[in-house]
Amino acid sequence: MNSSPQNIILEIRAGAGGNEASIFAGDLANMYTKYAAKQGWQTAKLEEARNDLGGYKEVIFEIKGEGVYNKFKHESGVHRVQRIPATEKSGRTHTSTASVAILPIQKANELNIKPQDLEVNFSRSGGAGGQNVNKVETAVRLTHKPTGIVVYCQSERSQQRNREKAMMILASKISEAQKSQAHGEIADARKQQIGTQDRSEKIRTYNFLQDRITDHRVGKSFHDIERIMEGGLDKIFKAMETL
């Protein structure tokens, strides 16, 4: 019997709202990583895809430390932001979303992943704007054929390290998929967590104009939004303990 999970993979993906959604995804990444730093936890960026304004289309972190999973386990779902974007010239309030998935880290050797169930592709790592940052095929793309789960990793300089990281992410996603199947849910746990990224499927709303963050599951609101976005999540995480 495995001990309770500790370390996690944190995946943040921009949803509805175009560039503003990507900027919000970046804000969430900043919020979570600053909170992790305050706790003395180790954070490593596994993969990222940025937009032209510096936000994230998608970003994946590994976070290690005592009690990480218990703190983050209720963050999975769609987060909604309401604010006037910096790029908005007419002063209109926009509503955008970003999705968060929390996956307990599963070591690949703890799962029986059969080599014949994997499709492995290698390519050159690409930088911003599509330029090659490596002339060797170090980027790794893994497809788990039975579940259709696909993982891509190019953050490391060596093919072997990228493959190891990709296998860790893949094993964690497969493990969550197996757990959801056991409860009669859909096979891909990340899809279950993220939903359709529709604005109505939200767990939390960040309203900057009213200086208020509302968690719709516990029915509570929290103020001083700027401090919270800088990693001041203690009150929110405390409230989540009632779920």
- Output the pLDDT for position 227: 97
138 in Cβ contact with 117 (< 8 Å): no
What domain count does the chain have? 2
| Residue 115 and residue 166 in one domain | yes
Give domain status of residue 2, yes or no.
no
Among residues 166, 182, 198, which one ends one of the domains?
182
Q: Which residues are registered as beta bridge partners of 136?
A: none
- Output the DSSP codes for 52-77: TTS-EEEEEEEEESTTHHHHHTT--E
Can you point out the beta strands (E) in 75-217?
77-83, 94-104, 118-123, 139-144, 149-153, 204-207, 212-215
Do 62 and 82 lie in one domain? The reply is: yes
Whether 102 and 193 map to the same domain: the answer is yes
Domain stops at, among 146, 164, 182: 182
The reply to whether 127 and 156 lie within a common domain is: yes
Per-residue pLDDT of the chain (243 residues; tens, 9 = 90+): 345 568 999 999 999 999 999 999 999 999 999 999 999 999 999 889 998 888 999 999 999 999 999 999 999 999 999 999 887 788 899 999 999 999 998 876 777 788 899 999 988 776 543 444 455 678 899 999 998 999 988 878 888 888 888 998 998 988 887 776 655 444 455 565 655 555 446 899 999 999 999 999 999 999 999 999 999 999 999 999 988
For residues 68 and 38, state if they share a domain.
Answer: yes
Which residue is associated with the tokens 């006037």? Answer: 84
CATH code of the domain containing 100: 3.30.70.1660
Give the three-class secondary structure for 17: coil
In a domain, 114, yes or no: yes
Question: How many whole angstroms separate alpha carbon 76 and alpha carbon 190?
Answer: 9
The reported pLDDT for the residue numbered 129 is 39
Asked whether residue 1 is domain-assigned, the answer is no
| Pair 101, 121 in one domain | no
Residue 83 is predicted with a pLDDT of: 96
The last residue of one of the domains, among 165, 182, 199, is 182
Please report whether residue 152 resides in a domain.
yes
Distance CA 218, CA 233 (A): 15
Within a domain: residue 3? no
Report which of 39, 178, 193, 192 is spatially closest to residue 106, judged by C-alpha positions. 178
Query: How many C-beta atoms lie closer than 10 Å to residue 21's C-beta?
Result: 27
Specify the residue for token string 């309770």: 4
Domain that holds residue 94: 8-106+189-240
CATH code of the domain covering residue 124: 3.30.160.20
* d(C-alpha 76, C-alpha 215), whole Å: 12
Residue 122 lies in a domain: yes
Distance (Å, whole) CA 59 – CA 50: 8
For residue 99, what are the β-bridge partners?
13, 78
Structure confidence at residue 130 (pLDDT) = 42
